[in-house]
């Protein structure tokens, strides 16, 4: 009699990048995460573009409706099991496009609530630590549940070069750290959903 192998539950991750620049390092982290996820059984990452979102303005809301781009964005977040934030640091905090996307997602009904989340950052200096701290504070109000460890802060300007000229992550040791984040997010999401014991 053949043994029955339990199928790993699927986890769908919505990946948001706080930088709109095509060659941004944080966008490079998302691309790398998508590629790495292919080697993690049960993990699926979809990049959600926040550039089409208008600036938050409640005058744009109707009776329970939102602008088309916002509706599409909110639906993607709602369908996801968890969220991966690639958050650059701007003036010691999160970027304006990322905060705008989060604010749209949080409009009633809040489509972020009770989801697992993780943050990765590539910036100069501290590698985005302060932006991550602020993002975690925002997450408290949104009822997001961030993984605590491992953490991922990358000083993108510190040699040797971690990215190529197109913003693609090329450092293998950094890729391994990024994969650890994804594995942790996958497991934590399943625990929150009651599909995996601690």
What pTM, to 2 d.p., does this model score? 0.93
Share of the chain above pLDDT 70, in %: 95
Could you tell me the pLDDT band of residue 156, with boundaries at 50, 70 and 90? confident
Element (H, E) at 177: helix 172-192
pLDDT of 48 reads 98
Backbone phi, psi, residue 58, to 5°? -65, -10
pLDDT of 62 reads 86
Contact by Cβ (8 Å): 85, 98? yes
> 23 pLDDT exceeds 90?
no
149: tokens are 């460890």
Model pLDDT for residues 104-138, shown as the tens digit of each residue: 999 999 999 999 999 999 987 777 889 999 999 99
| Over residues 131-147, mean pLDDT | 96
User: Percent helix, strand and coil across the chain, each rounded to 5?
Assistant: 35, 15, 45
Task: Catalogue all structural domains in the chain, each as residue range(s) with its CATH number.
Answer: 11-192 (3.40.50.360)
Please count the other Cβ atoms lying within 10 Å of the Cβ belonging to residue 150.
12
3-state secondary structure of 122: strand
Q: At which residue do the structure tokens 């409706």 appear?
A: 65
141: tokens are 């109000």
Model pLDDT for residues 55-104, shown as the tens digit of each residue: 999 999 988 899 999 999 999 999 999 999 999 998 989 999 999 999 99
Q: Is the peptide bond before 22 cis (omega within 30 degrees of 0)?
A: no
> 4 pLDDT exceeds 50?
no
Task: State whether the Cα torsion 91-84-154-181 is positive or negative.
Answer: positive
Query: Please, which residues bridge with residue 122 across strands?
Result: 154
| Over residues 147-169, mean pLDDT | 90
């Amino acid at each position: 009699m053949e043994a029955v192998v339990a199928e790993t539950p699927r986890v769908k991750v919505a990946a948001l990048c706080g930088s709109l620049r095509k060659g941004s390092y944080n966008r490079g982290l998302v691309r790398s995460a998508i590629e790495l996820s292919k080697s993690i059984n049960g993990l699926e990452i979809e990049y959600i573009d926040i550039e089409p979102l208008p600036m938050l303005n409640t005058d744009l809301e109707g009776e329970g409706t939102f602008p088309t781009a916002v509706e599409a964005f909110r639906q993607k977040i709602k369908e996801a099991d968890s969220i991966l934030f690639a958050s650059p640091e701007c003036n010691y905090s999160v970027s304006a496009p990322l905060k705008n996307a989060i604010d749209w997602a949080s409009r009633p009904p809040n489509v972020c609530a009770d989801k697992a989340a993780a943050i990765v950052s590539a910036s100069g200096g501290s590698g985005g630590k302060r932006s991550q701290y602020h993002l975690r504070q925002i997450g408290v109000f949104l009822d997001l549940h961030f993984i605590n460890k491992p953490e991922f802060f990358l000083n993108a300007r510190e040699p040797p070069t971690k990215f190529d000229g197109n913003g693609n992550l090329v450092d293998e040791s950094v890729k391994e750290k990024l994969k650890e984040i994804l594995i942790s997010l996958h497991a934590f999401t399943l625990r929150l959903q009651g599909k995996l014991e601690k």
